[in-house]
Each structure stands twice: as C-alpha cells, then as structure tokens.
C-alpha cells in the first residue's frame, strides 16, 4: 500500500494539512451526506427497478459517502441487486482514520437516526481485509458477498478518470473546496467526469461555486442551486441533458 495520508484530528473533526480543509464537519456530517449527495442524486428511489446502479465520486476521503450510500442501499428492500461505487482519491488515508470517523458518527448526537449511523462501523470493518492491498491505479474490491463493487482509483483525478471505462448513473463531486483544491474542480476534471455521464445522469455537490456551475452547464448539464441543510445555505444538483 502507498503511504497513507495523515489526518489531523482537532476537536473530533478530521483535517487535511495538505489542503488546509476538513474532511467532514464534526456534527451533522452524516445528515449532510444523505441530504447533499444521496437526496441530490434522487436516491434511494433512483436505483429501484434497476438490475444495478453505478455511483462515480471524486474524493473518497474518509469514505463517508460510500458507507452512507452502502448503508442506505442495504436498508432499502426495493434496492437494485448490485451497487457499483467508483471513487477517485489521490491521497488515501489510513484505515484506522476511516474507522475512527465512523465510530464518531455512530455516537454523534442529533442529525441522523442513531440506528442508521451505527451500521457504518460494521461496514467500514469490511474494508479491513482489502485496504492493505491498496495500490496506485484502479483497485476493484467485491464487498457484501459480491453485491457491492467498490472501485477505488488511486491517483490524480484527471489521470484516473480516463482509466475507468464505465458510465455513471449518479455523480458525487466531493473534493476539498474549490478554493483549496482547484485541480479537482477545473474544467479538465469536470470534462473528464462528463465523459462518464449519459442523458439522465444526476450529479450532486456541496459547492455552488460559480466556476463549477458554469463549467457543468457548458458540458451539457442542467444545473440548479437547492436549499442546503443548515448551516449550509445552498447545495448543487445537476442532470445531464
């Protein structure tokens, strides 16, 4: 495995010294993930009636969106038979930081149902046998008795996206903020993401930065700002036309 990216835990909030930004908020992170990314992409309703569903994410981080999506899929009696989750991450963290994050979320007061949050540590533990095998490039891991396929692309997002040949039904744009990590949000990155979208692909992000909205619009997405979950004022939803 490549050397893990250090995570700084300050007041129980995980920080990146590389980008001077947080991986997630201390409180309400699970609720934000469900509101911004799952609801923003029309999930869980969007995967119902399909044999499989594919999510593409930019920025795996501490795995919050993956684990939240997986838990939501597991709990949905009408879920598709197979969930494919593809995420790009240039700087993977240590598994211990993922486990620490999920344990903190499972005891977090307010925001989300506790019974849902407590599922996350057990799901994160399923990464333990495979995480030490993590290498640069595409890593393909079958989880949940093969019903969940996690593809973790380790490397620069613009180099990794062309290496994955699939199409996404939903896209989560979740890198560090555009001001701190501009390469994740530049026109070249957004263009590479769009190559994996088809008409009807839904996209969601926490950022409503003008350059992101304009860039997506230029690529054929219909973009709109939506009310965010406090304390965030806005969030972004888009659909490929």
Rounded-to-integer distance, Cα 15 and Cα 17, Å: 6
Token output for 162: 């062309």
Query: What is the full per-residue pLDDT of the chain (241 aa) written as tens digits?
Result: 678 999 999 988 999 999 999 999 888 899 999 999 999 999 999 999 999 999 999 999 999 999 999 999 999 999 999 999 999 999 999 999 999 999 988 776 444 446 778 899 999 999 999 999 999 999 999 999 999 999 999 999 999 999 999 999 999 999 999 999 999 999 999 999 999 999 999 999 999 999 999 999 999 999 999 999 888 899 999 999 9
Q: Are 24 and 62 in contact (CB under 8 A)?
A: yes
Strand 170-173 to strand 52-58: parallel, antiparallel, or no bridges (unpaired)? parallel
Torsional sign, CA 194, 195, 201, 204:
negative
Domains of the chain: 8-240 (3.40.50.150)
The H-or-E segment that residue 87 falls in is strand 82-89
Q: What is the DSSP letter of 34?
A: I
Of 29, 46, 141, 31, nearest to 86 by C-alpha is 141
What values do phi and psi take at 202, rounded to 5? -100, 145
């Amino acid at each position: 495995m490549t050397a893990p990216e250090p995570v700084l835990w300050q007041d129980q909030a995980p920080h990146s010294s590389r980008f001077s930004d947080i991986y997630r908020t201390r409180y309400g992170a699970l609720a934000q993930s469900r509101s911004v990314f799952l609801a923003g992409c029309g999930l869980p309703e969007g995967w119902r009636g399909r044999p499989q569903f594919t999510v593409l994410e930019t920025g795996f981080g501490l795995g919050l969106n993956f684990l939240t999506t997986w838990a939501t899929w597991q709990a949905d009696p009408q879920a598709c038979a197979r969930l494919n989750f593809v995420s790009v991450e240039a700087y993977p963290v240590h598994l211990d930081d993922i486990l620490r994050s999920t344990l903190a979320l499972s005891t977090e007061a307010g925001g989300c149902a506790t019974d849902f949050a407590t599922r996350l540590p057990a799901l994160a533990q399923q990464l333990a046998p495979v995480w030490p095998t993590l290498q640069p490039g595409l890593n393909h891991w079958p989880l949940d008795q093969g019903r969940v396929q996690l593809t973790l692309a380790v490397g620069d997002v613009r180099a990794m996206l062309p290496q994955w040949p699939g199409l996404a039904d939903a896209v989560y744009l979740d890198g560090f903020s555009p001001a701190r990590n501009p390469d994740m949000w530049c026109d070249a990155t957004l263009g590479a993401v769009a190559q994996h979208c088809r008409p009807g692909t839904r996209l969601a992000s926490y950022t409503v930065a003008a350059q992101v909205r304009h860039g997506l619009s230029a690529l054929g997405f219909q973009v709109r700002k939506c009310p965010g979950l406090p304390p965030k004022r806005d969030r972004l939803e888009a659909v490929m036309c």
